[in-house]
A = this chain, B = another copy of it.
């Protein structure tokens, strides 16, 4: 586990870049306060297109089309503007909420472009955040990244993007055998995001996401104590119950004995929590009450494509995003 102490970055009193960004945009926007003090990555643009698979020359495979038709979407469409790579539009320099999308794309070996890895990619992010894009008849303005562009489609909201990608990428049980699987997987993903991603975020920003952490440290301390002692065990206990339920099936995964995108979401949540609350997570692991949950974590981390991704250059280090390490947060609970 790589740990980066981010407090020094956050103790900057004013943030020139943020102020500039706010000055040029006519609408309020939810730029993470901490981004302003991060250096932007500068990768050569030829590194922008990723694919971890070697067997899919086209995205419009029969399996893909079956999945599209199983969404009721593409039965009529033999050719589509969606025969192109996925495009993830997200802030550079943090795993953040974009990471849930990345893990899904990586596990599936999908081809995708990631603004976080493209020189000048932040201009693309800002065009959406400022409301300059999308500007067409079918896509509403977006509120915040992550954003997925796929052909003519532009959508935001992490669970919504996962909902779109999951069936297309084979990360939901097939609709022919299990028509309602998508709602079970979506339910599990939403609950993990609520309790193990949004609530940890609110631990360092309990009053307002636009204020610095330093401006809400007292409230954060109180929230963290409650989160680590009460909410974290409650959510881990819930997912342990899910893993022990009949509906989880055989094996280490949450639903129907198969890997779904909900498992990838839960993996990333646990990984972030291990970074943010190492003592508390170690204690919970040692207690043995959540053994299936930690087995799921290990199983996902050992999947070949995920393992390669986690050890490779595209996986970004935790810093001052969603999951943060502050020494004062590192309590046992």
Residues on A lying within 8 angstroms of B by beta carbon are: 27-28, 30, 69-74, 76-77, 131, 134-143, 153, 155-157, 159-160, 163-164, 175-176, 178-180, 183-184, 186-188, 190-191, 195, 202, 206-208, 210-211, 219, 222-223, 226-227, 230-231, 233-235, 237-238, 241-242, 245-248, 254-256
Contacts and interface: CB of A to CB of B under 8 A. Distances in A.
A280 to B, nearest CB: 16
Contact of A230 (B71, B208, B237): B208
B246 A223 contact: no
A127 to B, nearest CB: 14
B28 A248 contact: no
Given A222-B207, A254-B140, A28 B179 contact: no
A96 to B, nearest CB: 16
B183 A238 contact: no
A208 B223 CA distance: 7
A80 B77 CA distance: 29
A251 to B, nearest CB: 14
A19 to B, nearest CB: 16
A242 B72 contact: no
Contact of A183 (B163, B195, B207): B163
B73 A27 contact: no
**Which of A141, A175, A241 gathers the greatest number of chain B CB atoms within 10 Å?**
A141
6 contacts: A28-B234, A28-B237, A141-B242, A157-B186, A159-B190, A160-B187
A153 B242 contact: no
B73 A71 contact: no
A5 to B, nearest CB: 25
Contact of A188 (B140, B184, B254): B140
A140 B28 contact: no
A230 B183 contact: no
A39 B70 CA distance: 46
A74 B245 CA distance: 26
Nearest to A144: B191
**Which of A30, A178, A237, A247 gathers the greatest number of chain B CB atoms within 10 Å?**
A247
B245 A140 contact: yes
Contact of A138 (B175, B235, B247): B247
B183 A164 contact: yes
Nearest to A188: B140
**Which of A159, A242, A254 gathers the greatest number of chain B CB atoms within 10 Å?**
A159
A226 to B, nearest CB: 4
Given A140-B254, A175-B73, A179-B72, A211 B237 contact: no
